[in-house]
Amino acid sequence: MKKETAKKPKEDMTEKIYYEDVMCSVFEAKVLSCRQRGDRFEIIPDRSAFYPEGGGQSGDRGFLLCPDRTPESGEGGAGHAVIHVLDTQERDGDLILCCDAPAAEGERIEGHLDWEYRFDRMQNHTGEHIVSGLIHERFGYENVGFHMSSDRMTIDLSGALTEEEIREIERRANEIVWSDVPVYTDLYTEEEAENVEFRSKKELHGTIRVVRIPGADVCACCGTHVLRTGEIGSIRIISHVRFKGGVRMELMCGRWAYNYMTGIFIQNHEVSMALSAKMNETGSAAQKLLQEDAALKFRITQLLYSVIDRKARELRGTGDVLLFAEDFSPLLVQKLTAKVMEECGGSCFSFSGTDDAGYRYAAGESGGDLKELVRKMNQELNGRGGGKPFFLQGSVSASREAIENFLSGEKEGLQIIDL
């Protein structure tokens, strides 16, 4: 069952310049109506190059000049008032310029598009068609979700792709760009459209606009596109993740891709300088650095273990000891305590940290029970922690002096040692 055409043409409908001349960025028009809605003014012109939000593409922005206004009319300094167009929408068949100031019915206006904003979206929208079309042709997957933000696009595909397949699609998409083929817009009636093969064939009524890119895609679309694929510049698929049984990919074309790749280039240049590596060898240089770093950490740990062993032997038979070690991990603090308590013949308390950041600790005594003492210490020194009666660990928020005072008061003859 087909629905009736929802939007009936109206007598006073706005002429859509963007469909006749997509490259038009300045145009003259007359105000059909203007009404206030919240803090915005909705101006309906008799013709518009401003494209309204639709088909995943955001509405155009720019400004209107009002050439019939004079400085005496109190509406602007240079003889023209400037009205900013913040967004363009289509509602009930009306094309609405959402503006920051009003215009009078019948007033002449000169529309100026924010061309960089529009052209970015044209480059990206056409690039998206190429990628979706190539994927559809090669794998039969549908584009089931499309979103365009301010610097990238997201598309959801109904099937999964491997990294290699994505790189192949990206390469082929760029070949379509380099071959600079024309982008055609064909108009069909519903009846005619039934015999034409194109993507997005559902829920279409009235005149059907089909965007055709030879070698890449044929798809129903109401958006604005570049005239030739060469204008896209380049296409980059920058990420892809599994999503609902398919894949969600992020892509960028034209200026967005250029800006992104420039950012990546600068980052890579910094890495290259820091690692003294060629720009195309930073990956392997970073891997090498990580391996060296891991080897160094392993070596440091071994050395610290031998320091701990030696210290434990030195402290044989010393009795109760309080040790301060600089910059020890919780694991090293525990190792130190476990080794020393086996040798010292008393209880061992090890701390590592600073007065500002606090100290982590371990407390142990072979066959002893330090539970009550540690509970009291945590209470007095803003600490927390626990463990077995003969071995406990935790942290305190207190100064070294407070730690020394507390434990000296608890353990007579306590020896305080720096590692």
Binding residues (CB under 5 A) for Zn ion: these are 221, 223
Q: With respect to Zn ion, which residue has the nearer C-beta, 193 or 221?
A: 221
3-state DSSP assignment of residue 194:
coil
Q: With respect to Zn ion, which residue has the nearer C-beta, 125 or 240?
A: 125
Q: How far is the CB of 64 from Zn ion (least distance, A)?
A: 27
Phi, psi torsion values for 200, nearest 5 degrees: 55, 55
Q: How far is the CB of 217 from Zn ion (least distance, A)?
A: 9
Name the residue with the smallest CB distance to Zn ion. 221
Q: How far apart are CA 172 and CA 131, in angstroms?
A: 9
Q: How far apart are CA 123 and CA 298, in angstroms?
A: 51
Q: With respect to Zn ion, which residue has the nearer C-beta, 124 or 174?
A: 124
Q: With respect to Zn ion, which residue has the nearer C-beta, 221 or 257?
A: 221
Beta bridge partners of 236: 252
User: Are the C-beta atoms of residues 50 and 59 closer than 8 Å to each other?
Assistant: yes
Instruction: Report which DSSP code applies to 207.
Output: S
* Element holding 174 (H helix, E strand): helix 163-178
Q: With respect to Zn ion, which residue has the nearer C-beta, 221 or 235?
A: 221
Q: With respect to Zn ion, which residue has the nearer C-beta, 13 or 222?
A: 222
Q: How far is the CB of 55 from Zn ion (least distance, A)?
A: 5
The pairing of beta strand 81-91 with beta strand 62-66: antiparallel
Q: How far is the CB of 121 from Zn ion (least distance, A)?
A: 11
The pairing of beta strand 235-243 with beta strand 246-253: antiparallel
Q: How far apart are CA 350 and CA 361, in angstroms?
A: 5
Helix H segments across 315-399? 330-344, 371-380
User: Are the C-beta atoms of residues 213 and 125 closer than 8 Å to each other?
Assistant: no
